Amino acid sequence: MFYREAGQYKTSYAADMAIFPIRQDRIGIAVILLIAFVIIPVFGNQFFLSSVMIPTLVFSLAAIGLNILTGYTGLISLGTAAFMGVGAYACYKLTSWFPGVNILVWIIASGFVSAGVGALFGLPSLRIKGFYLVVATLAAQFFLQWCFVRIPWLVNYNTSGAIEVPERTLFGVVITGANATPTARYLVLLSVVAALTWFASNLVHGRVGRAWMAVRDMDIAAELMGIRLLTTKLLAFAVSSFYCGVAGALMVFLWYGSAEPEVFVINQSFLVLFMVIIGGLGSLIGSFMGAALIYMLPIVLRMLPAALGLPIASATVEHLQFIIVGALIIVFLIAEPHGLARLWQTGKQKLRIWPFPY
C-alpha cells in the first residue's frame, strides 16, 4: 500500500538506473543510516556496541570482500582469514613505523598491502577454476598463517607472539587501545564500513562490476565480448583482498585490541564464507544480513535463557546454540537457497502488491 512506486516518474536515464529507484527505499536507507549513526550509539549500551555491533560490522565488511570475489566474480576462496591477517599485520607494522600518521590512513593503506598479496595468490585463477581454485586459495591460507606464526618481525618481536595494539587517536579522541570507548570505536568502524560499502556498491553497479558478473556467468563468453580475463579476475582478487584486509585491520585495532595468529585460522575463512552463502551470493545487503545472522544469532541465543530467567548452564546453552543455529541455517537454505538477500527481495516484492496480491 505504502511501498510502491506509483506516481514516481523518472525523467532521466540516471534516475531510472539509480541503485534505489524508489523513493521509499531512499527513505529506508536514510532511516537505517540514522539508526546506525545516531540511535544505536546514543541508546545502545556498551555490551551491545562492543560485542554485537562492532563484530557484526567487521564481519560484514569481510563478507562484502568475499562476496566481490565469490558472489560477483564466481571465484571461490578459502583464504579470507589469511587476507584479513595480512591487513592486520600490515597495519600493525605501518603504525609502529610511522606512529604519527593517523591510524585510519594506515587501516586503508593496509588494505592495499592485502590487495597486493591477494592479487599474487589470485594468479592461479587464470588457469584453474572451481574446486581447484579453492585448493589454491587454501594454500594461501596455510602459507600466510604459517608466516604469521613463524615471522617474529611481523609482530615486532613481541615475546607474546601477538599484535599488541597501541593507543591511537582521531581528532583528539582515542579510538584504539584500551582507553577507547565502544562508542568511539563503533562510530569510526561504522564510517569506514559505510564508506567502503558505498564504494563497493558503485563498483559492482558500474563497468567493473558488470565485467565481473560476465566472467562469473561464463568466462569464455565474457572473453569473446572483449573482457580481458587477466585484469578482471586479478582486479576481483585485489579488490576482494582489499576489503578483507581493511576488515582484518579494523578487527584487530577496533575490536580485539590484540591478536594472536590463531585468530586468522581457516575456521574464520569458513565463517565468512557461510555468511556470504547464507546472506546471498552477489548481494551487498546480503553480506550484512549474513554477518548479522551468523554472528548475532548465537549471541541472542546465549542471552535468551538468562533474559527469560531460565536456569540453564552456560555450557548447555552453548550446545543448544550450536544445534539451533545449525538447524536454522539449513531451514533458511531450504526455504531460500539464494540466501537472505533473495528473501528480502521477495519480501519487498510482496509488500508492493500488499494488501491485494494477484
Minimum distance between the CB of residue 358 and another protein, rounded to whole angstroms?
Answer: 12
**CB closer to another protein, 151 vs 218:** 151
Minimum distance between the CB of residue 202 and another protein, rounded to whole angstroms?
Answer: 28
Distance CA 228, CA 234 (A): 10
**CB closer to another protein, 201 vs 258:** 258
C-alpha cell recorded at residue 70: 565469490
Minimum distance between the CB of residue 115 and another protein, rounded to whole angstroms?
Answer: 25
Q: Give the residue among 23, 111, 72 at the shortest CA–CA distance from 205.
A: 72
Minimum distance between the CB of residue 316 and another protein, rounded to whole angstroms?
Answer: 9
Distance CA 91, CA 258 (A): 13
**CB closer to another protein, 105 vs 306:** 306
**CB closer to another protein, 225 vs 312:** 312
Which CA distances in Å does 222 have to 13, 41, 212, 229?
Answer: 25, 45, 9, 8
Interhelix angle 284-291/182-205, rounded to 10 degrees, is 150
DSSP 292: I
**CB closer to another protein, 42 vs 178:** 178
Minimum distance between the CB of residue 315 and another protein, rounded to whole angstroms?
Answer: 3
Look at the block and give the residue holding cell 595468529. 261
Contact 87, 61 (CB under 8 A): no
Q: Using CB under 8 A, list all residues that contact another protein.
A: 44-48, 50-52, 55, 96, 99, 149, 156-162, 164-167, 177-179, 255-263, 265-266, 296-297, 299-300, 302-304, 306-307, 313-315, 317-319, 322, 331-332, 335-336, 340, 343, 346-347, 350
